[in-house]
Amino acid sequence: MESLHFYEKQIFSQNGEDGMIEEVFARIQTTNKIFVEFGVSDGVECMTRYLLAHHGWSGLMIEADPFQFRQLAANYAQATGLSLHHERVTRENIAGIFRANHVPAEFDFLAIDIDGNDYWVWQALAEWQPRLVVIEYNASFPPPQKMVVVYDPNFSWDGTTHFGASLTSLAGLGKQLGYALIGTDTRGVNAFFIRRDLLPASRFEEKTPEQAYHPPAYGPDEGGHPRRSGPHLQI
């Protein structure tokens, strides 16, 4: 079984996602070359900068932190085809943000990395059908563990293992939304989901969470963040 992580290449992304994204779209091609990414910080290291700078894409970047957003705006002051939005993303407001920024129902790429309510926000976007979704997973809960943090619109990550959702839980949500899990990066940070109708064109096989999983390789505590339990659901 061919593994997507073999295509890791780091240009502006943190974990080699640039190469993985590039390979997926080399296979399924693009339609409108529109992206949406939220949780971009200052935009220096993110998953859509490469698409914007070198592949002629356009799209929307969303950032909540005021300081990071000011830096983001300064860094992309000369960018064309890019909209920037400053707001904390919640499951209550994300659809409104998409509508206000004229995100089409079908677009090419969605990246979700907000260190907390990622599962709930993706669930709230059922009205939109991006062709590829890359979303952060919590690798400290390996398959078949199900774990999703209890929803709190004001959730703020404290640097521990209490954030987001496990790969198994995200794979289940992906199936509900019409997506197939095709891989993760080797540092155990992001999971790649392709819209199910595009799976044949991608020539990647759908993977179980057990097949796609990579353990955490980004922190000081057994490869991950310091352990802390918190309110969560097993869904």
pLDDT in tens, 68-86: 999 999 999 999 999 999 9
Average pLDDT over the chain reads: 97
DSSP 8-state class, residue 225 = P
CATH number assigned to the domain with residue range 4-233, chosen from the 4 options 3.40.50.2300, 3.40.50.150, 2.60.40.10, 3.40.50.720: 3.40.50.150
Model confidence at 217, in pLDDT bands (50, 70, 90)? Answer: very high
Q: What are the DSSP calls for 107-156, one per residue? A: -SEEEE--SSSHHHHHHTTTT---SEEEEE--TTS-TT---EEPP-TT--
- Two structure tokens written together for 172: 């289940």
Contact present, 202 and 171 (Cβ < 8 Å): no
Q: Name beta bridge partners: 209.
A: none
Domain boundaries, the chain: 4-233
With a cut of 80, say whether residue 1 has pLDDT above it. Answer: no
Q: Are 148 and 118 in contact (CB under 8 A)?
A: no
Please give the sequence-ordered ranges of beta strands (E in DSSP) within the chain, or none if there are none: 34-38, 58-63, 82-86, 109-112, 132-136, 148-149, 179-184, 190-195, 232-233
